[in-house]
Amino acid sequence: MLPEETTNAIAQEYIQLWKEFGVEPQLSRKKLAGRAPKESAPQLKDLEDVRKWLGNCQRCPLCKDRQNIVFGTGNPKAKLMFIGEGPGADEDAQGLPFVGRAGQLLTKIIEAMGYTREDVYIANIVKCRPPLNRTPLPNEVEACSPFLKAQIELVGPRIIVALGLTAASTLTQIPGPISGLRSRFQKLAWNPKVPIMPTYHPAYLLRNPSAKKLVWDDVKQVKDFLEARG
């Protein structure tokens, strides 16, 4: 978890953002910044067990408006894992991660690295779509974190590409900006043996095509890392 003062500051930013959209937040400030209740993990043999444990999740307010839980997809024993922020409208409708325009771009990035979507594993920090595609709140991230940690542990990737600031800061527990985190390997906060390569989210590239070269520089390091280890 990020320090409490950091989560409180983030929560205040979201409150202000919601008000700008004409939405009055219903959660108290304390609840926004608070941690989700602790939950003991059952015995987990594979990703199917994690999905069963997640069930028809009602652990945070994101469940109220979702169409589908977006769990993850790909090779359950992939050496390369991509983790984004959260589902968008297309992902919510289909129940699969990265299937919209940003997902199509991610597919091209994966293929440029010499892989297919079936070779890698793709997931998100949160598994339900946030309203208006906003950044997930700290308590929403916390509610999803046991399932993401279980996915990472069971897939056992050699390296993870963190797509965007939310993914990068959650996985490394280092605050942004993403421009300060990308271009070099970081460490998974709860397992420093797993390297993380933060880079820009594909949705950002759709708005800022000039950043594609920076992302290629980042993922080429990942490609070289994997090739060097066979």
Q: Is the predicted pLDDT of residue 11 greater than 90, yes or no? A: no
Predicted TM-score (pTM) of the model is 0.84
CB atoms within 10 A of CB 78: 18
Nearest-angstrom CA–CA distance, 162 and 66: 24
Please give the Cα distance from 169 to 162 (Å, whole number).
9
Output the pLDDT for position 37.
55
pLDDT in tens, 184-217: 999 999 999 999 999 999 999 999 999 999 999 9
For residues 147 and 144, what is the distance between their CA atoms, to the nearest angstrom?
6
Instruction: Give the helix/strand (H/E) hosting 215.
Output: helix 212-228
Mean pLDDT of 23-44: 55
Backbone angles phi, psi at 138, to 5 degrees: -55, -40
pLDDT higher than 70, residue 15 = no
Assigned superfamily of 49-228: Uracil-DNA glycosylase-like domain (3.40.470.10)
In the chain, ranges of CATH 3.40.470.10 domains: 49-228
Asked whether the predicted pLDDT for residue 30 surpasses 80, the reply is no
